[in-house]
Amino acid sequence: MVPLAADGPDAIDDSLADSLPFMIPDEGEHGLQLLCSIADLDPRTHESPDRHLIYHGPSNQRRWGLLRVESARIANRVFDPQFLIAPNPLRSAEPALCKRANGRKDDLLQLAKARLGNALDRAVMVGVDPLGIDLRTTFGVGRIAFAHTSMTAPEAQDALDLLLTSPHNTQEPRS
């Protein structure tokens, strides 16, 4: 999902909506190149604009589009998008996990300072997936990885609790 200019020089012509190229992080030999199609979505009925707001703050764009990856390429290798896109198994538990972490503001701030290395004055957990958490800080969104993949809500809760109680620890304790 992306905010789009509805009109003006930055507006995407509807005739181009079937073949939008994206380069991540940018165009280059080792960058990920995605060929996407885009479909308009209604921000009043779709959750994506709210998720964008949580991660990035308000957008002045009035048009929203849902991207669908048609193909992907790195260097000379082309990939079927089904190998790149997977649903987040923690999606339904995400609000509760974020709320619980955000209730521990001091611990969350210490974690952000320890792992993201900036002099921060605020940190808000905005997302979680099996590989880690996303924190919105004074300087943007930062990523903190779990020590181990957490595929269920209880596993993610345990991994999150470990991060919040031992912000400098990068490994889970061995039993």
Helix, strand, or coil here: 107? helix
Q: What confidence tens digit (pLDDT) does each residue in 120-133 have?
A: 788 999 999 999 99
What type of residue sits at position 42? Answer: D
Q: All domains of the chain, ordered by start, with CATH?
A: 2-83 (no CATH), 94-165 (3.20.180.10)
pLDDT reading at 173 higher than 60: no
CA angle 20, 24, 25 (to 5 degrees): 140
The winner for highest mean pLDDT among 19-23, 51-55, 148-152 is: 148-152
